[in-house]
């Protein structure tokens, strides 16, 4: 029983992209602000690309299930839920970035 759950969990997240931690030079070097900014921009672009791929996979799984091309209901539901979680994460990061920007704009010099 536990092996089945473990394999389902592994298969559900097998397409998830790993998150890269910033290198010490990116975090400890004040002169590398441009490098950090470009790394953050690249990371966000990659995250949005990954989100798009997850959304497309969920759409395809749902489409295949609706047309009877597959009978893997669990796989379609898990793929859709993975897309839902990915979208929620992106929206949370967006909101946090906007909140941080607003706080910076409220600071007095």
DSSP string, the chain: -HHHHHHHHHHHTTTPPPPPPPPHHHHH-GGGHHHHHHHHHHHHHHHHHHHHHHHHHHHHHHHHHHHTS---HHHHHHHHHHHHHHHHHHHHHHHHHHHHHHHHHH---
pLDDT tens, residue by residue, 19-61 = 555 555 554 554 544 555 568 788 888 989 999 999 999 999 9
What does pTM read for this prediction?
Answer: 0.59
Domain coordinates of the chain in residue numbers? 41-109
Burial category of 26 from C-beta neighbours within 10 Å (exposed 0-12, middle 13-18, buried 19 and up): middle
Q: What is the pLDDT of residue 35?
A: 53
């Amino acid at each position: 029983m536990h092996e089945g759950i473990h394999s389902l969990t592994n298969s559900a997240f097998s397409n998830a992209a790993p998150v890269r931690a910033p290198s010490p030079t990116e975090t400890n070097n004040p002169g590398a602000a441009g490098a950090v900014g470009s790394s953050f921009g690249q990371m966000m672009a990659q995250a949005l690309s990954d989100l798009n791929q997850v959304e497309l996979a969920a759409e395809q799984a749902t489409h295949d299930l609706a047309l009877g091309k597959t009978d893997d209901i669990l796989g379609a539901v898990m793929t859709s839920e993975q897309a839902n979680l990915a979208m929620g994460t992106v929206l949370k990061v967006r909101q946090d970035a906007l909140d941080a920007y607003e706080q910076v704009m409220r600071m007095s010099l």
